[in-house]
Amino acid sequence: MVVGVLPAAMNEEAPVWSDLNNVVIEAAGLGRPLGAELIESVAEDVSYILQMKATAGPRAFISGDTGTWMYDGTDITAVTPFPFTTGGKPTLESWGTWCLGTNNLDPPKVWKNGGAFVNLGITNGNFTKCKQFIRRQPYVLALSTDTTLAGDTTAGCRVRWCSDDNVEMWEVKPENTAGDFEIRDITGEIRGGCPIGDSVAIYSDEAVTMATYIGPPYVFSFVTTLRGFGIYAPKSVCAVGRLNYGIGPQGIFQTDGYSFQLLGDDNFRKWLKDLIDETKRDQIVVFHNEFTDTVHFHFPVKGTSNWSALYWKLDVNKFTTGDVRCNAAVEREVFNVPLVAVGKDICRLTRDVQDWDGQTVISTIKTKWTDCETNGYDKWLDHVFLNGFLDNVDIEVWAEDIDQNQWEVYRKQDAARQNFVLQEAHKFQLTLTAPDDFHLSRVRFMGEVGAMSL
């Protein structure tokens, strides 16, 4: 069952399944990729989730377009007043017990272990906004900063960093280690960044620059290492070990910062390009689901209000598809489970699949039309044998004759291991649906070849 399944793409890799929706390929079969348990809803669609370990215990900061909330593992409370104005998509970063926030529109903000978010005191830093903060060593990098320098046209590819251990000192002076760098060869403006090993990968639409800490006096080195791929926005890339997985205009990629691979083939990338709504690039989310060792890619569908998902199973290097919305997520770090946001709902990610976005998540597994033995004879299908954990799985069997007429021959709730059919046909197709957790390790069609020669 180690196959890849994508609509209108790469189906030659799928000898059995024509459709796997909200299903993940596991080492011993197929199972559920996700689940959600509602914690609490907030007042706005969530833009970003950050978790941090503090002396008072674990925390998660949750940002909407204008507001922020704090989750302590039990309750979610608003941090007032709301720090951002409408129009930006905030991102967050931790600095010890402080939380930094920026939306590339307002002056960057800071929460200093209590009270409200206030403007970050950027001392003579020559910038008033940036796209993203990333912490590295005793520094914070500010990506895609604006500038107050007359005649400067490189603001979209400028990176600055604060002085060591002082997130409010950005003025470059001989007596401190603050600095800035213009990545002139990055090809386009900076879209976002992500930690990768000991460095930070800084992405544009079609290139990556590696920012590596080298210590004073130069502090960071910047080398544009790769071209031909990029990301849509800060949330469209994630770190898995010493690799990054992301999605951009060229497709879905895997990189270590010095080499890269576009996942899937040309047909898949064309299908993805036609499907994804690039005008909503800030809503695209990529995250690593540690429960199933799967990288999730969630994105709005062009021309609709729907969402689509792709699940890349790391141990088998195969995709399956889904239709689940997710607009922010963080891995399991300071809490025992990953946290995800579905619209305004803050959820724990679990393997016990319940409701997500107010709807039951349905998994669908469908085989190709199967012509057992030889296509020169009709077949008698006696029964279908299923093996695995199959509670609450529905089974459906369809038949097709030599003239391609199709009919339903079997439907049963709560699929049993052996499902008797007793029908004659030329081809058969099996569909399984599950609104709850399941695991399928084997399917066998049993019967005999008919006597009529065609």
CA distance 102 to 84: 8
Q: Domains in the chain, ordered, with CATH? A: 20-354 (2.130.10.10), 364-453 (2.60.120.260)
Q: What percent of the chain has pLDDT over 90?
A: 50
pLDDT at 358 over 90: no
Q: What is the pLDDT of residue 453?
A: 35
Is the CB of residue 180 less than 8 Å from the CB of residue 158?
yes
pLDDT digits (tens, 9 = 90+) for 35-93: 778 899 999 999 999 998 877 788 999 999 999 999 999 999 999 999 999 998 999 99
Q: Which of 1-5, 167-171, 392-396 has the lowest mean pLDDT?
A: 1-5
pLDDT at 3 over 70: no
Look up residue 344 and give its two tokens. Answer: 């305004």
Instruction: Establish whether the linkage from the previous residue to 217 is cis, with ω within 30° of 0.
Output: yes
CA distance 297 to 274: 16
Q: What percent of the chain has pLDDT over 70?
A: 90
Q: What is the pLDDT of residue 451?
A: 43
Greater model confidence, 277 or 437: 277
The helix/strand/coil state of 243 is strand
Nearest Cα residue to 62 out of 447, 285, 328, 265? 328
Q: What is the pLDDT of residue 367?
A: 86
Q: Which residue carries 């008033």 as its tokens?
A: 128
pLDDT at 124 over 90: no
Mean confidence (pLDDT) of the chain = 86
User: What is the amino acid identity at position 175?
Assistant: E
Res. 379 pLDDT band, cuts 50 70 90: confident
Greater model confidence, 125 or 397: 397
CB-based contacts of 162: which residues, under 8 Å, 6+ apart?
Answer: 139, 140, 142, 168, 169, 170, 178
Q: What is the pLDDT of residue 275?
A: 94
pLDDT at 159 over 70: yes
Give pTM, 2 decimals.
Answer: 0.88
Is the CB of residue 269 less than 8 Å from the CB of residue 217?
no
Res. 116 pLDDT band, cuts 50 70 90: very high
First to last CA, the chain: 32
- Residue 258, CB half-sphere, CA atoms under 13 Å: how many? 4
pLDDT at 2 over 50: no
Tell me the DSSP string of 215-236.
Answer: ETTTEEEEEEEEES---SSGGG
pLDDT digits (tens, 9 = 90+) for 273-318: 999 999 999 999 999 988 778 899 999 999 999 999 999 988 888 8
pLDDT digits (tens, 9 = 90+) for 184-211: 888 889 999 999 999 999 999 999 999 9
pLDDT at 426 over 70: yes
Greater model confidence, 156 or 112: 112
Max mean pLDDT range (25-34, 64-73, 317-326): 64-73
User: Could you tell me which residues are beta bridge partners of residue 95?
Assistant: 98
pLDDT digits (tens, 9 = 90+) for 131-158: 999 999 899 999 999 865 545 555 688 9
Greater model confidence, 402 or 207: 207
Tally DSSP H helices, then E strands, for the chain: 1, 40
Max mean pLDDT range (6-15, 295-304, 319-328, 365-374): 295-304
